[in-house]
Structure 1
Amino acid sequence: MVSLNPRLSVTHNGHNTWKLHISHVQLNDSGSYMCQVNTDPMKSLSGYLDVVVPPDILNHPEQNLEEGISNEGGTIVLICSATGVPEPTVQWRREGGKDIILRTETERSKCGVMVKSVEGEKLILTNVHRTDMGGYLCIASNGVPPSVSKRFDVHINCKYKQQKLQAKSNATTDFCDYGQPMKVQTQ
């Protein structure tokens, strides 16, 4: 064997089979390997090693928090990049199987195109609405197990309308609203 690499070794079964062993396989071990028998005539057999690496999600310095915050009507950009061999694909999904709502920049309603997933490193939510709040999952996969995911929280600062309420004595009223705490004033 011609190699100065201590991670490479060869075993022989005593008959006619020789095996190359590579310990602690690394990405740079990819390539062609040749077994040569110095007989007359010389015989050789070549093989190719393709090293695969499972996906790993990278941390972005410009988005070190796993959250997006915006006022209603604003834009949130979530970034999720992954490495691996082969190169992973990144897919966005909403937690709980909810639809992702994609709106245009001019669309001011809570409606838009509803999709189950979006492919790509960036998820851009425009004209966000209180219904967009919640968990979003970035899932990276490349066919090499395991796939990995990262959770992002989306928070929307909601506008509220001041309303007058009439309460009778011993009355109880329950309020439920999305977003920021609601102010209740009594007179």
Structure 2
Amino acid sequence: MLGDRSVMWMRGRDLHILTVGKVTYSADERFQIMHSHETDDWTLQIQYTQPRDAGAYKCQVNSDPKIVRNVYLTVTDKRFLDGQLYKMPPSTREQGEYGTHIVGGGTRFLQAGSSLALECVVTHTRAPPSAVLWYRDNNLLDYDSPRGGISLQVEKAGQQTTSRLLLSAVRETDSGNYTCVPVSVPVSAPTASVTVHVSTEDELRAAVQQGGLSGARCSLSGLDLRAVFLLVAVAWLVAGTLT
């Protein structure tokens, strides 16, 4: 008996409208609505759920009066053990089906205020990964991350999937270990990581100045040491002559 009314899903913590009817109003591709004309069910699907997805959700119909059903979601993430990202080791049969690497080496040094661009390439001999996730340390990075200023792009071509992560105006808190995690079922794909260091201009200037002073001290110490040896030698010669 829905008629011309619509079913809406809303997230409780920020009252963000996720779906209206069959349309999704979120840049986060993990959210989507599932509905079939054969049923009266309007199911909100959240793929690859994270602990931060936990909380209240509202299913609402724009009738008069409104019909609302509150749902509370609890998420237990078993991928984190002892504060580290847990990765299932690939079996012998699975090895070689996927390859993951981050372009540009394993360490990046940036000045605060610049942009960070990371590119993760996943090669696959069979089906491509269903998604490619990015983590900083143990924190998932996506459009709704508290940090903001995050852009994600995914490109699939043949047997290669490329995920690009862009962070604008980086700051010191953006330093850390960035991990690219391909999501594939049932095969476990390898991950790739890069360490990012962000320094302020004052820190860079201080490091340069400190290096110059240290070098001067080393040189001065060497001169003082040679002078001491020279004075000792002269004193010994004078003592010998007097004797």
TM-score using structure 1 length = 0.44
TM-score using structure 2 length = 0.35
Q: Which has the higher contact order (CA 8 A, sep 6+)?
A: 1
